[in-house]
Structure 1
């Protein structure tokens, strides 16, 4: 399930709401994907240049920001009545917009439950609470179905998720939770709750070797995962995942955005790899 059709959900009110902001700028992808899913795309007047979901958004909306920078002048020309961003990394962008009198919401959710709550809150902010609740419920149901299937697996692989390679950065909380839902066990669970990437840095590659993951996922935000480079790291030939060729890329828009993509296509890709591993090695 890559996208939920909210119109097909019983009880979801589909009439365009007369409430909430009418001119929204989305500084990251997840509010854009969510508002499109809720049938509220008409409110969006600007998006992040990193937005890839839904694909039509790139054709329909002007791109006015990156992740750590934004075209403040271009945003102001759009006369937004609401700007949505994510995390402390966008604090400076938010502060500048606020100084120009723009209302800004910076969310900071880092877990699966946080993503679901974010969808509900965003829907409420634009007067589409019923649609957002129905959408979040459907996403939760999809996760429960994946978890139920994973519970039947005869074996759970040890999994290492690499968010960046120079330096090595391990997976953030929602990624680790999704791996667990899909049937895998993260090899660095003690780092998962660290919200800042700098606190998930591994000083050396040795701990990965010591924890011997069965599967390695790479999602290097902004560049292509290079499994051959990973396999060539000193000592990594001793890792089961490297010996067995279990090095898999998950595109960062599918898993590193704390929004609907991670709860649909992202977790399903993780589950697909884990199920295939179980078939080969269980």
Structure 2
């Protein structure tokens, strides 16, 4: 039997940006009744949908007033919000993906959960083709830079798994691959800033979640003037909405920004 237009949940609250961006990309935004206040993609969502949550907190009363039949969140950090909603009888899905393959799988699963699996599979395939094209261009580079990705500055936190993967796809090599394998931020804290100096990255990418990256502050750290990236002025900001959320933005705009920086570095390094 064909799906009726009314199959799947009809009143979805998205506690982070990636389900909002994915549902809009699939043309299913009519199902969304509330979003995260941190949502910036797509821009129209902020105009169209009420904002009912931050990342670690949510207006439980406001969410319940929306009478959601499905709430979507991300990671252990939203466990308490999820538990509170479950106690009120709300159905909640907390995804916990941390890799590029995980993001693609997330899109497929989300599509299946709302009854548009075919659309979601086609979209995930399209995103994969985009990544393959970036990787193909990167394979032609004359050399690969070593890249340090900084997620936070006080304390220093290195990049999460999907970020390290996207750096690799874009033609660089993450200097803390063993940290990138750790899902929790506390396990990626660099107790010794000299560790970055020793790993001598050619490029430093900064994305300080929710605040502006300050290359001048990074360059002024004791001993960091010895780092090739600092000497060459290769300190670049990647805005957090396009790289630190495990959704479509990271696989499109995020990876393309990294690839552009890596390509420009490779031209100069020849």
Deviation per CA, 1:202-226, whole angstroms, max 9, x where unpaired?
Answer: 0021000000000000000010000
Structure-1 residue corresponding to 2:16 = 28
Deviation at 1:16, TM superposition (A): 8.1
- How many residues are matched? 269
Aligned residue runs from structure 1 range 24-103, under 5 A: 24-103=12-91
Mapped to 2, the partners of 1:17 and 1:40 lie a distance apart of: 11
Q: Residue 171 of structure 1 is aligned with which of 159, 178, 186?
A: 159
The two structures, once aligned, show a CA RMSD in angstroms of 1.1
Structure-2 residue corresponding to 1:203 = 191
- SS of structure 1 residue aligned to 2:19: helix
Structure-1 residue corresponding to 2:114 = 126
Which consecutive unaligned segments of at least 5 residues does structure 2 have? none
Q: Larger deviation: 149-158 or 15-24?
A: 15-24
Structure-2 residue corresponding to 1:7 = none
- SS of structure 1 residue aligned to 2:52: strand
Mapped to 1, the partners of 2:195 and 2:64 lie a distance apart of: 47
Mapped to 2, the partners of 1:279 and 1:16 lie a distance apart of: 54
Mapped to 2, the partners of 1:18 and 1:100 lie a distance apart of: 24
Mapped to 1, the partners of 2:15 and 2:43 lie a distance apart of: 16
Contact (CA 8 Å) 1:17, 1:128: kept in 2 or not? no
| TM value normalised by structure 1 | 0.94
Contact (CA 8 Å) 1:24, 1:84: kept in 2 or not? yes
Mapped to 1, the partners of 2:219 and 2:241 lie a distance apart of: 24
- SS of structure 1 residue aligned to 2:147: strand
| TM value normalised by structure 2 | 0.98
Mapped to 2, the partners of 1:234 and 1:18 lie a distance apart of: 60
- The answer to whether 1:187 aligns with 2:180 is no
Mapped to 1, the partners of 2:179 and 2:154 lie a distance apart of: 17
Structure 1 segments (4+ residues) deviating >4 Å: none
Contact (CA 8 Å) 1:81, 1:103: kept in 2 or not? yes
- SS of structure 1 residue aligned to 2:71: strand
Deviation at 1:19, TM superposition (A): 1.1
- SS of structure 2 residue aligned to 1:222: coil
- SS of structure 2 residue aligned to 1:161: strand
